[in-house]
Structures are given as C-alpha cells and as structure tokens.
C-alpha cells in the first residue's frame, strides 16, 4: 500500500498547480500588505483582499460605503503602490465582499 502524503506537505512542497497556488497566495498577501500601508488606518482595516494582474488592482472591501471611500482614495495611492510593487496599475476595481467565506 502506498504511503499517504499529508496535505500540509503537498502545500509546502508541491509542484505544478500547488506551487502556482502557493506563489499566487504569497503575491496576494504582499499586494494586500502594500496597499494597507498606503491607506488611512480606518480604511485599511476594511480591506481584506487585493490582487494585481495585468494592470488591474482588484480590492475586496467589507461594505459598499468602504468601497466608495476606497474609490475616492485610489488616485492618491495608485502610483505609489505601483512603484512599491514594481508593476503598472492602470485601473482599480473595488468589490464588496462582506464575508471572507
């Protein structure tokens, strides 16, 4: 009988798709941390996800009210965030997701 491989081992050392998922997750964490540094504290607490792909920054916020505030802040942080991440950000998309599930 073949020995089973723990999921934690696959996630930590897996290749192919698992490696791409791990790298994508690390990049999303890096993007979120950088974004939070460029936002006022009360707004950064309401942002719980951020990804940057092909010139688009997508940000997940807890409510539409916070999403509106983030949209107004976008011109103030967009260029500095792009410089910090070393990418181009041409547009910012804000999505309301009240729950992380």
Domains of the chain, by residue range, sit at: 7-96
**CA distances to 27, 79, 92 from 88, in Å:** 15, 8, 11
Separation CA 63–CA 58 (nearest Å): 15
Give the architecture (CATH level 2) of 7-96.
2-Layer Sandwich (3.30)
Angle between the N-to-C axes of helices 64-85 and 17-37, in degrees from 0 to 180, rounded to the nearest 10: 100
**Where does 1-101 show beta strands of DSSP type E?**
47-53, 56-61, 91-96
**pLDDT score, position 1:** 73
DSSP β-bridge partners for residue 92: 57
**pLDDT score, position 100:** 55
Is the separation of the CB atoms in 18 and 10 below 8 Å?
yes
pLDDT along the chain (101 residues), means of 10: 76 73 87 96 95 95 95 95 95 85 49
Residue with tokens 């070393």: 86
Q: Which tokens is 67 given?
A: 């999403």
């Amino acid at each position: 009988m073949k020995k089973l491989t723990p999921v934690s081992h696959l996630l930590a050392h897996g290749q192919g798709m698992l490696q791409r998922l791990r790298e994508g997750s690390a990049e999303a964490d890096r993007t979120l941390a950088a974004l939070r540094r460029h936002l006022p504290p009360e707004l950064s607490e309401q942002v719980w996800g951020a990804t940057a792909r092909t010139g688009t920054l997508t940000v997940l916020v807890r409510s539409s009210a916070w999403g509106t505030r983030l949209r107004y802040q976008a011109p103030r942080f967009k260029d500095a965030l792009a410089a910090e991440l070393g990418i181009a950000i041409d547009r910012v998309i804000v999505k309301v997701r009240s729950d992380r599930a």
